[in-house]
């Protein structure tokens, strides 16, 4: 299993067992898991994604091509958020991500640490040359995060901003 490690975090792909437990057996998962799952997690967006993700895993699609990754605060053994890889890289090597950090008491450097490590890992993958993320114009924390990551805002569509970073920018 792939593990992306930082000083404070472990980022791992969500297994089929955990994905199914989140949908069908949440109470049992909360009781038995050595890792704490926050009450409000996953977000409604991730809940909507889970059936598709489960289907992909059951049909043996490559989990790395599309997936849910868990952000775990390692010392506390607690899930604090997730990163969604929204599909396979395009022919041009572009992939879209979104992230969510659940625990508002966690300082914003955690989100930076998680997303930076994940982008780093992705760009070492041969087929990923550009990472794209979106946010609402009022999501100040995301805007600061994307700016700190070195991403460039390339498009405004109504209330949404599109940000990207290319592999050559990271080398």
Per-residue pLDDT reduced to its tens digit, 47-80: 999 998 998 888 875 544 668 999 999 999 999 9
Per-residue pLDDT reduced to its tens digit, 114-154: 999 999 998 887 778 999 999 999 999 899 999 999 999 99
Domains in the chain, CATH or no CATH each: 4-170 (3.40.630.30)
What global pTM score does this model have?
0.89
Strands (E), 39-151: 67-73, 78-85, 94-101, 130-136
Q: What's the pLDDT score for residue 63? A: 47
């Amino acid at each position: 299993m792939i593990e992306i490690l930082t000083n404070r975090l472990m980022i791992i792909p969500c297994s089929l067992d955990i994905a199914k437990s989140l949908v069908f057996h949440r109470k049992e998962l909360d009781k038995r898991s050595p890792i704490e799952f926050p009450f409000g997690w996953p977000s409604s967006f991730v809940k909507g994604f889970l059936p598709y993700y489960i289907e992909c895993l059951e049909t043996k699609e490559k989990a790395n091509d599309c997936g849910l990754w868990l952000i775990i605060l390692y010392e506390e053994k607690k899930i604090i958020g997730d990163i969604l890889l929204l599909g396979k890289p395009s022919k041009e090597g572009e992939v879209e991500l979104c992230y969510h950090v659940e625990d508002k008491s966690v300082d914003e450097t955690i989100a930076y640490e998680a997303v930076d490590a994940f982008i780093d890992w992705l760009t070492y993958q041969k087929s990923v040359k550009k990472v794209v993320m979106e946010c609402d114009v009022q999501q100040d924390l995301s805007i600061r995060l994307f700016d700190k990551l070195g991403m460039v805002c390339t498009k405004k569509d109504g209330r949404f901003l599109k940000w990207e970073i290319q592999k050559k920018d990271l080398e």
